[in-house]
Amino acid sequence: MSDVDFSAEKYEKHRQAGEILADVREQARERVEVGASHLELVEWIEDQIIEQGGKPAFPVNVSIDEEAAHATPAIDDGSTFGEEVVTIDIGVSVDGWLADSAVTIDLAGQDQLVEASEEALDAALELVEPGIETGEIGRVVEETIDGYGFNPVVNLTGHGLGHYEQHTSPNIPNRAVDQSVTLEAGDVVAVEPFVTDGAGKVREGSDEEIFALDREGSVRDRQARQALEQITEEFKTLPFATRWLDVKRPSMALQRLKQQSIVHGYPVLKEADGTYVSQTEHTIIVTEDGCEVTTRRR
């Protein structure tokens, strides 16, 4: 028997974060339609998270077609949804304990691509219990996706969730791997199959609107100094968006901080042009006899 106390405060806060996320995600899904604004959607989601007692664990990601991760609107972004594959990836923090979930909405007639990621996630979650190897989870994800005639994105993985840490070990692969980790009761992980009709390997694009703190430091520039104060006080080690900074020239301030290796950016990750990517993600707590999905709507 496990000696993990699943009633402990950390698990209750993971659950609270997951409950907020599930509610906001399902409401947000209904707001994704042709002509709707990217910026208005993410601001609505982030405001709803705060109203319900949480904080965004990272900027809401809005990935379109070949984009897979790290895309979020700029301050003055005028983009609207078209006939596209749209993925919304949301994170919620309650006192630093996290939930992470994503859903793909098909506006482009790619329903099988979306179904493949949903079915791969369901198949993965059915396997989860103490003692399961992460490579075995990856094998089932890959086999499910292959059954639809698509490819998993092999250089993106699921991950553990720590206190104010969005990505910790273990990694949860989206394909069979030889070297893997054994899950244990009490682990909190995000499982997130990525499916594509492309080659299955994303690359970094040139756009960069999400950043995170690497280290504290001193800077001479006043705007950069003010930005750093806000980052260390409000966001700590969690990712943040350029549009969240309360300074006059946030992009310039961030470039100064980046030049001094105080922050780093997250370039948008993309498959090849003309392809599509779908993603479905839940956060789970590994229990003594399976798993508890914290981000599934009650």
- Tell me how far apart the alpha carbons of residues 16 and 94 are, in angstroms, rounded to a whole number: 7
Distance between CA atoms of 278 and 154, rounded to whole angstroms? 13
* The domain over range 210-266 is classified in CATH as 1.10.10.10: yes
Proportion of the chain above pLDDT 70, given as a percent: 99
Helix residue ranges, H only, 34-100: 38-51
Residue 98's Cβ-side half-sphere holds a number of Cα atoms within 13 Å equal to 26
The pLDDT tens digits for 235-245 are: 999 999 999 99
Q: pLDDT tens digits, residue range 67-122?
A: 999 999 999 999 999 999 999 999 999 999 999 999 999 999 999 999 999 999 99
* Largest pairwise CA distance in the chain: 56
Domain coordinates in residue numbering, the chain = 9-205+272-293, 210-266
% pLDDT > 90, the chain: 97
Known binding residue 100? Answer is: yes
pLDDT, position 298 = 80
The residues annotated with a catalytic role in the active site are 89, 100, 159, 167, 192, 281
Q: 159 among the known binding-site residues?
A: yes
- The class that CATH gives domain 9-205+272-293 is alpha beta
Q: Specify whether the CB–CB gap between 202 and 69 falls below 8 A.
A: yes
70 a known binding residue? yes
Query: Please, are residues 251 and 207 in contact by the beta-carbon 8 Å criterion?
Result: no
Q: What's residue 179's pLDDT?
A: 87
Tell me the pLDDT band of 223, cut-offs 50, 70 and 90: very high
Predicted local confidence at residue 124, as pLDDT: 98
Is 165 annotated in a binding site? The answer is no
pLDDT confidence of residue 2: 64
